[in-house]
C-alpha cells in the first residue's frame, strides 16, 4: 500500500514540477502550443485553461497518494524504508514523464518542450533525463540489497558439526 502511495505522489509531483518549472517559470511547454500557438489572447487563454486541467489532474494524483499513505499508516502496515519510498516515488515521477512525453510530445504532438524548428531534440532530452533517468534511479533504489547475481560468502564454521 505504501508503494502505491509513493507512485501516486511521484506522478503528481512530477506533473506539478513539470508545470511549475517548464510552463510557469520558463514559459515553455504550454499544453496545446503545437496545435494552438499562443499568439493571441484567446489561444493563450485556451492553453492556460488546459494547463489548469493538467494541474488539477496532478493535484488529484498527489492527494490520492496522500490518502493511500494515510490509510496504510492507519491500518498499521509495516513502514518501508525511505530508500524504498523514494525509489517508488521516482518510478512514478519518471513513469509519468515517460507517458506524458511519448503521448503529448511525440504521438499526439500537442506540445513540445521547446517550440521551434527542431523540437524533437529537446523532447528526447526530456525523455532521457526526466523519464529514463528517474526510472533507472528509482529501480536502483528499490532493488534488493543483495543482487541475485552476486555470490554469497560462505561462512566457516568455528565448531565441528
State pTM to two decimals.
0.81
**Burial classification of residue 64, based on how many CB atoms lie within 10 Å of its CB (0-12 exposed, 13-18 middle, 19 or more buried):** middle
At 159 the pLDDT is: 64
Secondary structure of 9-36 in HEC code, one letter for each residue:
HHHHHHHHHHHHHHHHHCCCCCCCCCCC
At 158 the pLDDT is: 63
H-helix segments, 75-127: 82-100, 119-126
Rounded Cα distance between 23 and 16, Å, is 10
- Asked if residue 151 is part of any domain, the answer here is no
| pLDDT at residue 24 greater than cutoff 80 | yes
Range(s) of the domain holding residue 70: 2-142
Mean pLDDT, residues 15-33 taken together: 85
- Asked if residue 149 is part of any domain, the answer here is no
Q: What is the overall mean pLDDT for the chain?
A: 87
- Asked if residue 154 is part of any domain, the answer here is no
- Asked if residue 160 is part of any domain, the answer here is no
At 39 the pLDDT is: 87
At 12 the pLDDT is: 95
- Asked if residue 156 is part of any domain, the answer here is no
Coil, strand or helix at 71:
helix
**pLDDT band with cut points at 50, 70 and 90 for residue 38:** confident
Domain count, the chain: 1
- Asked if residue 11 is part of any domain, the answer here is yes
- Asked if residue 38 is part of any domain, the answer here is yes
Residue in 2, 16, 1, 14 with CA at minimum distance from that of residue 85? 2
- Asked if residue 25 is part of any domain, the answer here is yes
At 93 the pLDDT is: 95
pLDDT greater at residue 133 or residue 24? 133
Rounded Cα distance between 13 and 158, Å, is 53
Amino acid at each position: 500500500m505504501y508503494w502505491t502511495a509513493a507512485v501516486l505522489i511521484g506522478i503528481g509531483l512530477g506533473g506539478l514540477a513539470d508545470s511549475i518549472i517548464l510552463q510557469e517559470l520558463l514559459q515553455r511547454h504550454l499544453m496545446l502550443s503545437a496545435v494552438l500557438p499562443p499568439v493571441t489572447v484567446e489561444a493563450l487563454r485556451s492553453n492556460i485553461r488546459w494547463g489548469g486541467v493538467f494541474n488539477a489532474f496532478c493535484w488529484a494524483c498527489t492527494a490520492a497518494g496522500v490518502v493511500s499513505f494515510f490509510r496504510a499508516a492507519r491500518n498499521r502496515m509495516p513502514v518501508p524504508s525511505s530508500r524504498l519510498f523514494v525509489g517508488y516515488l521516482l518510478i512514478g515521477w519518471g513513469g509519468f514523464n515517460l507517458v506524458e512525453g511519448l503521448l503529448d510530445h511525440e504521438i499526439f504532438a500537442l506540445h513540445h518542450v521547446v517550440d521551434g524548428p527542431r523540437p524533437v531534440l529537446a523532447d528526447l532530452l526530456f525523455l532521457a533525463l526526466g523519464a529514463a533517468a528517474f526510472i533507472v534511479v528509482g529501480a536502483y533504489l528499490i532493488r534488493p540489497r543483495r543482487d541475485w547475481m552476486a555470490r554469497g560468502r560462505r561462512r566457516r564454521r568455528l565448531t565441528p558439526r
